[in-house]
Amino acid sequence: MILILGGTSDALEIANAIYSVTREIIVSTATEYGFEVSQERFPGKSIYGRMEREDLRKFIRSQGIKYVVDATHPYAENISRNAVAVCRELGVQYLRFERAVSKKDDYDKIICRDPVQAGDLIENLPGKVFITTGINHIKKMVSKISDKKRLIIRVLPQSETIKKLETLGFNADQIIGMKGPFSREMNYLMFRQTEAAVLVCKDSGAAGGTDDKLAAAACLGMKIILIQRPDLLYPNRFNEISTIIDYLTACQGTVL
Tell me the domains of the chain and their CATH numbers.
Answer: 2-100+232-252 (3.40.50.720), 109-227 (3.40.50.620)
Q: Rounded to two decimals, what is the model's pTM?
A: 0.86
At 17 the pLDDT is 92
- 104 falls in which pLDDT band (50, 70, 90)? low
At 247 the pLDDT is 87
The pLDDT of 212-230, averaged and rounded, is 94
At 255 the pLDDT is 43
Residue 256 pLDDT greater than 80, yes or no? no
The pLDDT of 98-127, averaged and rounded, is 86
Those residues whose C-beta lies under 8 Å from the C-beta of residue 112, and which sit 6 or more positions away, are 118, 121, 225, 226, 227, 228
**154, exposed or middle or buried, with CB in 10 Å at 0-12, 13-18, 19+?**
buried
Residue 37 pLDDT greater than 90, yes or no? yes
